Amino acid sequence: MNKLSVAVAVCCALATNYVNAEVRINGFASIIGGKSLDSEQTIYGYDDDISFKNESVFALQLSADLQEKLTATAQIVARGDNDFDADFEWAYLTYQLNDEIQISAGKMRAPFYKYSDFLDVGYAYRWVRPPQSVYSIAFSTYEGLSLLYDTQMGDWDSSLQLIYGSFDGNLDGSASKTILNDFTGINWSVTRDWFSARVAYLQAESSVELSTDSSLYGLLATLNENGLVEQAKSLDIDEEDARFYALGFSIDYNDVLFDAEYTKLTQGDSLLPEETQYYASIGYRMDEIIVHFTYEDNDDANDSSSYDQIPEIPALNAAINGSFDAFNAQDNVYTIGVRYDFHPSAAFKIDFSRYENNITDTETDVVAVGVDLVF
């Protein structure tokens, strides 16, 4: 099911049932400005010129109760980094089987993280942006099915989600096409009073149709031209077993806030590295003000000497090992920030972040300010 057909199906459901449906329209927006404090470094899309376009977002969400336990939801989002062109981020139907179980079908948010469902709703969290070392997967939605089971386990609230579907498109900033088949996952959250915990596991068969102007495409072509077909296949991203693991917990106790998430991504026997990330964030609430500090760690590990398979062509062997190196990443981010809820539906935020690249031994500072609102 392609993106357009999903969106059209939901919009038709909203339109044809409008007379008998209760239609709700909600929205949210983030107006964010930021700049890098280093004239030679770019971070989060910011250089040393201030920009109010890069992370700003405007969105509308339409939800229609079609009666007989059926609802339709569509979310239209316009992003500053996409020239504010409006796209359907969500478009799905939900059927409530009973008080505890619901089934949804269409284009929905993939449950990678704690804040996945609110990824674009800046008002839902204390930072200007969620910690990017963890919240770094370059797509956020899938097309398929979701089964959600909400229940009580003694004094605990439990939410268990199962998903199945696919993804077919270009990842953020990439000209190559990524295809995920048999995208399957489980997401379980439990909450009691001031404590909540979450665990998630997702897997898919991953393939990448490389852009002809990508460096990896040229490298694989060179291997094939030299008769090294098996070596090329071992590097190509074709029907690889991709697996994602996540663990996190949160505390909101006596105005003390704490969040931590750990994620790991493996992508089979390919050129792509094993990615491990985590963050820990502590905050303190003083009436309408929250002050917070966050530490992030990212480690994308590849052994640059793991591919010594072409000793007869040293230059080509070195080029391949250099490609392994190019995917490596070791960095940390320190963020201090303030959130001020100056209105029941709006919050002002300011964050200062220092990004440390441990491979290049460089530091980059960025400041971002913004207003998040819901309506």
> Comparing 35 with 177, which gets the higher pLDDT?
35
- The conformation of residue 270, written as its DSSP 8-state character, comes to S
Closest Cα partner for 140 from 169, 170, 166, 111?
111
Closest Cα partner for 105 from 13, 172, 198, 202?
13
Mean confidence (pLDDT) of the chain:
89
299 SS3 class: strand
Calpha distance 92→105 (Å, rounded): 5
> Comparing 160 with 215, which gets the higher pLDDT?
160
Return the pLDDT at 223: 74
> Comparing 301 with 243, which gets the higher pLDDT?
243
Summarize the confidence of residues 37-48 as an average pLDDT: 91
Q: What is the pLDDT of residues 246-267, one digit of tens each?
A: 999 999 999 999 999 999 999 8
- pLDDT exceeds 50 at position 10: no
- pLDDT exceeds 60 at position 9: no
- pLDDT exceeds 80 at position 20: no
Closest Cα partner for 148 from 140, 160, 157?
160
- pLDDT exceeds 70 at position 11: no
Token output for 234 = 């071992």
Highest mean pLDDT among 77-86, 131-140, 305-314, 334-343: 334-343
Return the pLDDT at 317: 67
Return the pLDDT at 40: 84
Return the pLDDT at 238: 84
- pLDDT exceeds 60 at position 3: no
Summarize the confidence of residues 166-190 as an average pLDDT: 90
Calpha distance 1→13 (Å, rounded): 16
149 SS3 class: strand
Return the pLDDT at 311: 64
The Cβ of residue 24 has, within 10 Å, a number of other Cβ atoms equal to 12
Residue 99 CB partners (closer than 8 Å, separation 6+): none
- pLDDT exceeds 50 at position 7: no
Please tell me the total count of domains within the chain. 1
Taking the model in full, what pTM does it have?
A: 0.87
- pLDDT exceeds 50 at position 2: no
- pLDDT category at 172 given cuts 50, 70, 90 is confident
> Comparing 162 with 301, which gets the higher pLDDT?
162
Return the pLDDT at 304: 56
Left (φ > 0), alpha (ψ -120 to 50) or beta: where does 220 sit? alpha
- The conformation of residue 46, written as its DSSP 8-state character, comes to B
Calpha distance 248→189 (Å, rounded): 9
Range of the domain at 232: 3-374
Among the residue ranges 101-105, 136-140, 275-279, 323-327, the one predicted with the least confidence is 323-327
User: Which sign, positive or negative, has the C-alpha torsion 28, 354, 282, 248?
Assistant: positive
Return the pLDDT at 176: 81
- pLDDT category at 313 given cuts 50, 70, 90 is low
Domain containing residue 115: CATH number:
2.40.160.10
Token match 């239609």: residue? Answer: 23
Rg value, the chain, Cα: 22
Return the pLDDT at 28: 98
Tell me, letter by letter, the H, E, C secondary structure of 172-241: CCCCCEEEEEEEEEEEEEEEECCEEEEEEEEEEEEEEECCCCCHHHHHHHHHHHCCCHHHHHHHCCCCEE
- pLDDT exceeds 90 at position 221: no
- pLDDT exceeds 80 at position 5: no
Return the pLDDT at 278: 98
Summarize the confidence of residues 27-45 as an average pLDDT: 94
Summarize the confidence of residues 310-339 as an average pLDDT: 78
- pLDDT category at 366 given cuts 50, 70, 90 is very high
